Structure formats: structure tokens, C-alpha cells
Amino acid sequence: MAEYLIKNGFVFDPVQGINGDKKDIAIKDGKIVESVGASAKVIDAAGKTVMAGGVDIHAHVAGPKVNVGRNFRPEDKKQAIYEPGRGVRRMSGGFSVPTVFKTGYEYANMGYTTVMEAAMPPFYARHVHEEIRDTPIIDQGAYPVFGNNWFVLEYLKNGEAENTAAYISWLLRMTKGFAIKCVNPGGTEAWGWGLNCTSIHDPVPYFDITPAEIVKGLIEANEYLKLPHSMHVHSNNLGNPGNYETTLETLKLAEGISAKNDFGREQVLHHTHIQFHSYGGTTWGDFESRADKIADYVNSQKNITCDIGFVTLDETTTMTADGPFEHHLCELNHLKWANTDVELETGSGVVPYVYSPDIYVCGLQWAIGLEIALLAKDSMRFHMTTDHPNAGPFTRYPRVMKWLMSAKARDEMFAGMKNEDKVRDRTGLSTMDRELSLYEIAMMTRAGTAKALGLSHMYGSLTPGLCGDVAVYDYNPETASDPEAIEKAFGKAAFLFKQGELIINDGEIVSNGNKRTLWVNVKTNENPQVERDIALKFNKFYTVNQNNYEVAAHHYVPNPYVFEIDATV
Amino acid sequence: MANIVSDVICTFCGTLCDDLEIELSDDGKKIKEVYHACAIGAEKFLHSQAEDRITRPRMMQEDGTTKEVSYEEAAKYTAKILCDAKKPLMYGWSSTSCEAQSVGHEIAEAVGGMVDNTATVCHGSSLIAVQDVGIPSCTLGEAMNRADRVVFWGCNPAHAHPRHMSRYSVYPRGFFTGKGAKSRKVIVIDPRKTDTASLADAHLQLDQGRDYELLSALRVAFRGEKLPDFVAGIPKDQIYEAADLLKSGRFVIIYFGMGVTQSLGKNHNIDIAIAVTRDLNDYTKAAIMPMRGHYNVTGSGEVLGWQFGFPYCVDLSRGIARYNPGETSSNDLLVRDEVDAAFILGSDPGAHFPISSVKKIAQLPSVAIDPHLTPTTAVCKLHVPVAFVGVEVGGCCYRMDNVPIESRKVVDPPEGMLTDQEFLTMVLAEVRKCKGV
């Protein structure tokens, strides 16, 4: 394999404490190394920014609901140029729900090399993996959803922690999943009857368990299993005025629990797209930001991480396993609504949405995301996401970086809003002059996310021994003054390496790499009761036989990277 | 002891039953008996064992006779007609695996093909309706476990999806439907007295082609507003009764078929059927599901979706993907003489397209890739027989509720026969040679 030396770039690597120093980065045999021989190919990075490949902790990029979004929104293809194939590239199109090829290319263009699919319905796991397999370049994993799963609800109701863990380990193996995702705990099961759970104390119909018990039980199961990532929650009551209280109550469930794992992860709870959960007021009339309360609490709790879910003020496609929320949304905007309830496991919905800067609620949502990120005391625990495509497409990350790094760019956005005064009045953002540095951006986009995923031994830093995932951006931090240069440079990496292979050469994609699917194989004690329960449910209540449930590696996961964990006691 | 393969997936219809048991000969080479399948499904497995099966590609000669050719020659011919064409039609895809579809799409991208699947004459109008108004749906098991109101609209599962009612919709005892059929009220809406209708608690025998009116009347009835004495030939009392029956359910599921998708009104019928479902969600829980026909037509829409962004009628001839049903749909392309080659895989347009379209196929350079002898293979210049997916080779298939299931290989194909994925891979290599990539 070719050796490379990336010379004289401004290097940002928070893990090693490198803050814009001019350094050379060497790559050999797929890894970052201390040095390479004289025959190494030299990449001249003088005047450019060098970082580890980006790691996205939460994006909806593959699977059934993403594909519903593609197929039921032909109009989305008109929002961006459909690009013909050329060289190693297939033709690629779509804006908020791009095709799998475009997903791979656009992440590469942003210097991202690892992306986690945020919600995998276990029953549809094959579909998720088929799309992941077809997505070029980036390493991916997928989080199966557990928060409304009948096995989990029943075991937790009965206080059977060991059985919960045994079942989770089985399901991760069956679906080739990476982490425990929990979406609107209990609420999506209630949606099976057209109902919802909007607080953490609302009992789930029939199962008679509360969201609080589900969240707490899943956190404990996660630590029992010593998984790389923590429990990953999308809490109840998303998107509603006044929901910050539900969010705080959910976060408090992690108090007193500490992380147990061999992957360097410190948090026990990751709260996703927390922007959507930081709202004050009681109606849309007195809607206001409660970013301060949420950021303060996360700042104070070392065992919690979050990603933001920045609203980018675009026309986009919302999609979530939070079925009742999507129904609620379509009642608000009266656009088309797709919904799929999944037997014994979960549900989901998809609704297009236009975040208009002319609507003050949308403007506030935009401001709240930025406010949280700028209130962060430790950017390692506040991550860059747009909850793609819910708050905006992932291709807007460079634009979000611009807003985070430039008060001027934020002021320009405020000035373009129809209800500027109202928006400024109801968020703390208008008085904030903090501008994040590239060092902090590197925390939010790779170092922090890699650590929270338990992948800091592979990604997120340029420490020798880690994967040779390196991005070079045409951005000179010493001379750049125009905020637009940030958006331009971080949307179009000049060079990109994935596992030591040159993927982007001088701005052009030259290889589809050798993408891997990450999944976790965790061994627990033999558990005849869980085995019996599984067999029983498949016999009676599933419409697929148990022997046809497992996602086979050969076709669906052709290039796996498996984390083997022993959680036997 | 009998040599039984269990948990076999039936690759016939969109019901995609996965509980078949197949008894093999002692040497494991022949299928002797098929258990649990419906008559059609069983016949598919047994049919693959026919002694007189075509096992090598055959080229039609000028005098109308056929001549056996090798798979290599067949791949070269296929690649040539695709590369020579300005706008080849690449139709079918519904009776094959997603793996084969993927390879086919690479070929289509290289040659600028018009990729269309059987939805074009089936549930394509449903796909258009979904693009207009969305679709609240669920998996078949969700309906089995919860639904106490079941509507069959313009479909006849007793014949078209024979195990649908016993596995999913009417008879099974689900988690919240422990009394099976007794837990459910079944409404059939069909102008015909079908065998499905004979099992229904209520049969609304509407005038043919008047589905839109009746659906609209239901929406009126849900709101308690006034109806004329008759709508679509149904007395208003019966409509109010049906509306009340649906509203009083805990979970309503509406299954619909070609009786509404391909009769007068087409996608507009589905628009309003979905609107009925949305309305019902204001009172209770409701879902709606198309009764997809071919076992993997759903998969074709899915793979096209994630690779190109559209579920059918995908025009790749301009180097980018376009979608415009009515313009880029197979029959429109054929009757307007817009395509100059026909590539057909995993479907039988010869039996299902209008004769005017079939005549056009007969005039074009053409290839049919299909395990069977069909009316299509009879009119195409080249017939490439391939192994049966789900019998002689496994592969991913999507059920009518979009649930992916991996079909199994039960026996080997006849010696020397290729699978469609293998054959397409050969064609792709030839196409690349021809295009110099």
C-alpha cells in the first residue's frame, strides 16, 4: 500500500492537543504512523488545514424510512443538481434525501470518513445493510431501536435486567447492529393505538411501564454489556413548546451511573438532536429558547454527551421512529405523511418540512441549536449533527461551522429574518459573541464523536496507530477572514484519505475506498428463558420465522468490522 | 427419514410466505413435495423440476425457428443490442433478487437505459398517489396483532394472494386479536361477488369504476354530513354503517389491489383511499397497504429508490436519472416508438401488456431473461433461461409491506445453467468492453 506524507499543514487534533501547529502527518499500511520513507508520496498541505476524518454520530442515511423519503419525494431531486457518473463515480442526486452514492461522495467531500445510521428498525435491518453496502467510501454502523420493543418492555417491567441484556446482545447479533437506540420510549408503542407518551411518567398502554423505567433500564443494560457506545436516546415530547422539562427529567435518569467499557467512553447517556428538546413556552405563541437550561445541565454532568441537530433553514424531509410526532407534524403543516408501524418493535414516520426564515418558530429553532453549541463548556461532549435530514441535510455542516465560527455570519442570518426582533428577543444567541475555533470544531466533528462512540482507538485523531483517515481542507486559519471561506473549504476537501487510501485527490474523488460495516458481537451467559421467549414470540406474533430473521453477513455485510465483547459473568 | 428443507421462502407473490417445507429426494437433487404453500406457490417449485425445461439460451432464426447458443454468445448479443441502442427499454425486475437488480442497474447506467418495473401496469398509480399524499402503513404482523377492522378494496386475496388471509389479515390469532377471525370485522368493496367477498361481514358491491365516489362518500360519512340516497350504487345507510364500523375499530387496515389502481381514476382513487386512512387516524388508528403482486416488485422499487431516487419509470438515457410516468413508462415508450431495443427480465409483458406494445417488442432487437417459456420469450429474439430465484439460488426480496426477506436456495439448477445475477455480470463485463470503461 502506498505511503503518504502530508506536509506543512495546519494540524488540528484535540486528542493530542495540537492546535493549528504546522506539522507533517505520515500514513502507511492504512494507519497513521510516526514517519515514512523517502519514497512516500508527498501531499503539499502548506496553507491548508489538516484534521482526522470526520465522524458523524447521528444521521439517517440508510434504511426503509430514508428510502420512503427518496421515493415519495421526486421533487427533492430538483433541489440539487443531479450529477452524471464520471470516473469511479456513479450518477448521484437528491438534496435532503440523497441517493446512497451521493451520500458517500458528499460525506467524503466534507472530509468525513465514518457515519452512524441513527435508527435501524430490527425487522428491516436487511434493508439498512443493503443501503450501507451500496454507500461508497465511508465506514458505517447502525443503531437498532429498542425503546418500544416488546421484549424490552416486558423484561424491564418485570425488573429482569439480565434478560434485557441477553435479548439485546441477541438482537445486535441478528441485525448486525452497533449500539442501543431508544426513540420516544413507550410513545411509539402507544402510537400502535394512535396514542403517545409525552412525559417520562406516562404509562405505556397495555405494557404498563413508564418511559423513565425504559430509559433507565436501557442505560443499565448498556453498561452491563459494556458496549462501545452509550445508550443513545431521543427522548419523549420532541418538538413541543415547554419540552425542556421532559428533557431534563430524562437526562437526570443517568445521574449516579458510571460508564463500564474498554473503549475509553466516559458517558452513559447520549442525547441526540437536543435542539429539538430545548424549548420553553406553553404554546407556539409564547415559544422560546431554553437552551441555557439544557446546556447548563449537560455542562454539569460528565456522564452525558449530546449532539445538537442544528436547524439549517432549508426545505427538507423529516423522518423518525417517533411515529406519533410525524403524525403531529403533518397535522401542523398539512403535507404528505408516510408512516410504518413495525410489529413488536417500533414505528416510524416521514413528512417533508420547510424551515422558513420567515417563520419565527423556525428562526428560533435555528438560533437554539447554535445557542446550545456556544454555551458548551466542553465541545468534546456537544456534537455536530443536523439530525440529517430532520433539521437540515448533512451537506450543510460547513454552513453550520460558519455560523459557529463567525458572529458576523450569524448577524447576517438574523438580518434576513422576517421576525428578526421576535427571534432575537426569545433566544440568548443575539447577545453571544463567542466564535468557536477550529480546535473546538474538530472536537465537535471528530474527536468528541469518536470518543462518545467508543471508537477513539480508531478514529477522531491523528495519533500514530489510528486509522489512516485524514482530511485536508483548503483553508488557511492564519489568513482567512471571510466567513464564507469556511463554508466553501469544509464542503470540498482538497484531499481525503480513508484507511490510508487516497480517496480525494485535489478535490476530485478518485476511489470508492473499501468501506466497512461496524457491528458489535457481545457474548452473554447462555439464557434459556430468553431463548424460549424469542422462539415463542416468533411462533405466535411475528410474520417471519425465527430462522429467516438473522441478517446474514455474506451478502448484507460483505466487509464487516466486528467488535467482540465478553459480557459473561 | 425424509429429506426436508424448512423455512423456505415462497418466491411467487408479494405475500412472500417464509414457512414452506420442501421434501427433497435422498440425493438432495430433486424436489419431491412442497408443504404449506398455496397451489400456485407449490406449482412454482414443482415446475422447476420439469424434464423438458429449457436450459440453454436460444436465438430466434430468420425462419422463426430457434437455435441454441452459449451463455457467452448470449451475453455478447445482449450487450451489443444495449450498446447499439440510443434508448433501450430495460423492463421487468420484479421476479428476481435485489442482487440481480443491482447489477442490472449498473448495466442500465452504462448504456443509458429506460428502467421500469411491473409497477408500471400494476401499483405504479399507488406510487404516484404516495408521492401526492404519503401513506400511513404498517407491517403485516402489526395488522395481524392489532387490526379488528379489515378492508379489502378492489382485491381478491382468496385467489391472488391465497395465504394472505390465513397468515396475516383475517384468520390468525394475534397478540391483541386472540380470537382470530372472531376478533375482526371484514369489509370487502368490490363490484364482483368474489370468493373473498363471500367471507366478508359486509360486502359493498359498488358500481364498477365508481370507487372514487364511494371513498369520498365515506369521508363525508365519517364527518356525519349528508349523503345522497345512493353513491356508486350503494344505499346511503350502508355507507353510514360501514363508516361507523370503521370508526369504532381500534385498528383499521385497508388492503387494496388492482381493482382500484388500474380502473377509472387510477392514482386519484388511491389518493382518496389514503385520505380516508388519514381521516380515520383522527378517530382511531388506521393503516393502508397495497397488495403487491410479484414477489419482488417492491424490492425493485426499493433498489431503484436508493440508487437513483425514484421507484419506477426511471430514465437514465441522459446520463442522469429522470422520472416522468406517462413519458418514461414502458407502454408509452413502446407505443410511441421511443425505444430501440428491449431487454426484459423477470416479468412477462407478452402476457400482460397491450398487444400494441407487444407487437413493438417483437419488432425490436430484444432479449428475454426468464426461467420459463412465456409469451414474452416467444416474441423476443433471444431467450436466456436462468435459475429460479428462491428455488435454485437465494437472494434478497421485499414483501408487500417492504420487509426484506432473504430467499433460500433449495436445489441446484440444472447443470451449466446460470443465475440471472451471473448472466448480468457477464453482460456488464461485455458492456464495459464495448464502452471502453
- pLDDT given at position A1: 72
The answer as to whether B205 is a domain residue is yes
Q: What is the rounded distance in angstroms from the CA atom of residue B60 to the CA atom of residue B62?
A: 7
Over the stretch A427-442, which tens digit does the pLDDT of each residue have? 999 999 999 999 999 9
Same-domain check for residues B139 and B268? yes
The distance of A263 to chain B (nearest Cα, Å) reads 33
Q: Which domain holds residue B219?
A: 124-290
Q: What is the rounded distance in angstroms from the CA atom of residue A287 to the CA atom of residue A364?
A: 9
Amino acid (one-letter) located at A25: I
Which of helix, strand or coil describes residue A8? strand
Same-domain check for residues A315 and A413? yes
Q: What is the DSSP letter of A126?
A: H
User: CB of A2 within 8 A of CB of A43?
Assistant: no
Same-domain check for residues A535 and A410? no
Same-domain check for residues B91 and B110? yes
Over the stretch A234-267, which tens digit does the pLDDT of each residue have? 999 999 999 999 999 999 999 999 999 999 999 9
Same-domain check for residues A322 and A415? yes
Same-domain check for residues B354 and B420? yes
Same-domain check for residues B66 and B86? yes
Same-domain check for residues B196 and B71? no
Same-domain check for residues B320 and B422? yes
Same-domain check for residues B180 and B215? yes
Average pLDDT rounded to a whole number, residues A299-317: 98
Q: What is the rounded distance in angstroms from the CA atom of residue A232 to the CA atom of residue A142?
A: 12
Q: How many independent structural domains does chain A possess?
A: 2
The answer as to whether B403 is a domain residue is yes
Q: Is the model's pLDDT at B1 over the cut of 80?
A: no
Over the stretch A87-108, which tens digit does the pLDDT of each residue have? 999 999 999 999 999 999 999 9
Domain CATH code at residue A88: 3.20.20
* Cα-to-chain-centroid distance, residue A143: 10
* Disruptive mutation site among A544, A549, A554 for chain B (greatest number of B CBs within 10 Å): A544
- Contact residues, chain A, for B287 at CB < 8 Å: 339, 341
Grid cell, residue A6, equals: 502530508
Comparing CA positions, the residue from A81, A6, A71 lying closest to residue B325 is: A71
Q: Is the model's pLDDT at A318 over the cut of 90?
A: yes
Over the stretch B155-185, which tens digit does the pLDDT of each residue have? 999 999 999 999 999 999 999 999 999 999 9
Q: Is the model's pLDDT at B230 over the cut of 90?
A: yes
Are A77 and B251 within 8 A, CB to CB? Answer: no
Are A66 and B306 within 8 A, CB to CB? Answer: yes
Grid cell, residue A391, equals: 433539521
Q: What is the rounded distance in angstroms from the CA atom of residue B274 to the CA atom of residue A337?
A: 10
Are B137 and A338 within 8 A, CB to CB? Answer: yes
Are B402 and A73 within 8 A, CB to CB? Answer: no
Over the stretch B333-377, which tens digit does the pLDDT of each residue have? 999 999 999 999 999 999 999 999 999 999 999 999 999 999 999
Global ipTM: 0.97
Of B246, B263, B290, the residue at which a domain comes to its end is B290
Strands (E), A431-544: 470-473, 495-498, 501-505, 508-509, 517-523
Amino acid (one-letter) located at A366: W
Strands (E), A94-222: 112-120, 139-144, 181-183
The answer as to whether B142 is a domain residue is yes
The distance of A125 to chain B (nearest Cα, Å) reads 8
Same-domain check for residues A138 and A237? yes
Searching chain B, which residue's CA lies closest to the CA of residue A342? B139
Mean pLDDT of chain B: 97
Q: Is the model's pLDDT at B242 over the cut of 90?
A: yes
Searching chain B, which residue's CA lies closest to the CA of residue A350? B134
Q: Which domain holds residue A167?
A: 52-452
Q: How many independent structural domains does chain B possess?
A: 3
- pLDDT given at position A12: 98
Are B320 and A83 within 8 A, CB to CB? Answer: yes
Q: Is the model's pLDDT at A554 over the cut of 90?
A: no
The answer as to whether A204 is a domain residue is yes
The answer as to whether B189 is a domain residue is yes
Average pLDDT rounded to a whole number, residues A17-41: 97
A63 lies within 8 A of chain B by CB? no
Grid cell, residue B383, equals: 431467450
Domain CATH code at residue B171: 3.40.228.10
Q: Is the model's pLDDT at B437 over the cut of 90?
A: no
- pLDDT given at position B277: 97
φ, ψ (nearest 5 deg) of residue A73: -125, 70
Q: Which position has the grid cell 390468525? A: B172
User: CB of B348 within 8 A of CB of B380?
Assistant: no
- pLDDT given at position A499: 97
Same-domain check for residues B116 and B132? no
The answer as to whether B52 is a domain residue is no
Same-domain check for residues A441 and A533? no
Over the stretch A166-193, which tens digit does the pLDDT of each residue have? 999 999 999 999 999 999 999 999 999 9
* Disruptive mutation site among A117, A196, A339 for chain B (greatest number of B CBs within 10 Å): A339
Of A452, A486, A512, the residue at which a domain comes to its end is A452
Domain CATH code at residue B416: 3.40.50.740
Q: What is the DSSP letter of A38?
A: T
φ, ψ (nearest 5 deg) of residue B343: -120, 120
Same-domain check for residues B205 and B281? yes
User: CB of B310 within 8 A of CB of A97?
Assistant: no
The answer as to whether B53 is a domain residue is no
Q: Is the model's pLDDT at A158 over the cut of 90?
A: yes
Query: With bands split at pLDDT 50, 70 and 90, how would you rate the model's confidence at B280?
Result: very high
- Contact residues, chain A, for B4 at CB < 8 Å: none
The answer as to whether B162 is a domain residue is yes
B36 lies within 8 A of chain A by CB? no
